[in-house]
């Protein structure tokens, strides 16, 4: 989740869409991601699986850039969440739209080593996206991930307060303060509803 979900390419079309997040966050210093708390051996995998399972399905909702040059820019996103066979993690695939411009968005997160997570936003930092370099499932309703692209470091948090809502926040640490720059509030919908919204 606090972009490369550019979260490095967050909005408007083509190159401009890919610049929005980087422009919004401005110069960022290293983020201190909360330490991954090792849970009991049996409980942690089940808790993590429960969280990722809760993200499966179709999601739609508004978002806004809340800091930086493009502060106040509003957009709408459509995502489909899925979990990989035989692995602990999730994928979100879809796109975000500002006016008539739409940008494809995707993120993949998988368990790496003991209880930590890694993955990519879009095609990772080697391409036009960001790397998900670490993270943890805090509880069955929330995951916190560290994201990175060159000198840009940040935190993406995804929270599922109930079965039909998901809140995503992307933040960076500037001058020793964690600053939210992008927020999204998504609602679960069925496939027909997603198709209808996407066409409007």
- CA 185 → CA 13, 46, 61, 95, 117, distances in Å? 21, 26, 6, 14, 23
If pLDDT is split at 50, 70 and 90, which confidence band does 115 have?
Answer: low
If pLDDT is split at 50, 70 and 90, which confidence band does 190 have?
Answer: low
Q: In the chain, what are the domains?
A: 14-188 (2.40.128.20)
Please, are residues 57 and 80 in contact by the beta-carbon 8 Å criterion?
yes
Give me 38's structure tokens.
């090792």
Higher pLDDT, 19 or 155: 155
With a cut of 60, say whether residue 23 has pLDDT above it.
no
- What does the pLDDT look like over 34-61, one tens digit per residue? 333 343 344 568 889 999 999 999 999 9
Q: Per-residue pLDDT averaged across 69-94, rounded?
A: 92
Higher pLDDT, 21 or 124: 124
Give me 90's structure tokens.
């999730």
């Amino acid at each position: 989740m606090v972009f490369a979900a550019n979260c490095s390419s967050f909005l408007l079309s083509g190159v401009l869409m890919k610049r929005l997040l980087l422009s919004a966050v401005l110069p960022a210093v290293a983020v201190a991601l909360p330490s991954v708390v090792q849970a009991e051996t049996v409980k942690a995998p089940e808790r993590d699986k429960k969280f990722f399972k809760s993200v499966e399905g179709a999601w739609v909702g508004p978002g806004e850039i809340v800091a930086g040059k493009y502060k106040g820019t509003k957009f709408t996103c459509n995502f489909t969440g899925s979990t990989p066979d035989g692995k602990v993690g999730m994928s979100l695939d879809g796109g975000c739209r500002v006016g008539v411009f739409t940008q494809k968005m995707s993120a993949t997160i998988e368990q790496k080593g003991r209880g930590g997570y890694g993955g990519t936003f879009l095609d990772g930092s080697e391409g036009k996206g960001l790397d998900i370099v670490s993270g943890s499932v805090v509880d069955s309703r929330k995951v916190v991930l560290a994201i990175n692209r060159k000198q840009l470091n940040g935190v993406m948090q995804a929270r599922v307060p109930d079965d039909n809502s998901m809140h995503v926040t992307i933040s960076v640490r500037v001058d020793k303060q964690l600053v939210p720059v992008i927020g999204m509030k998504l609602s679960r919908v069925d496939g027909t509803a997603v198709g209808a919204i996407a066409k409007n």
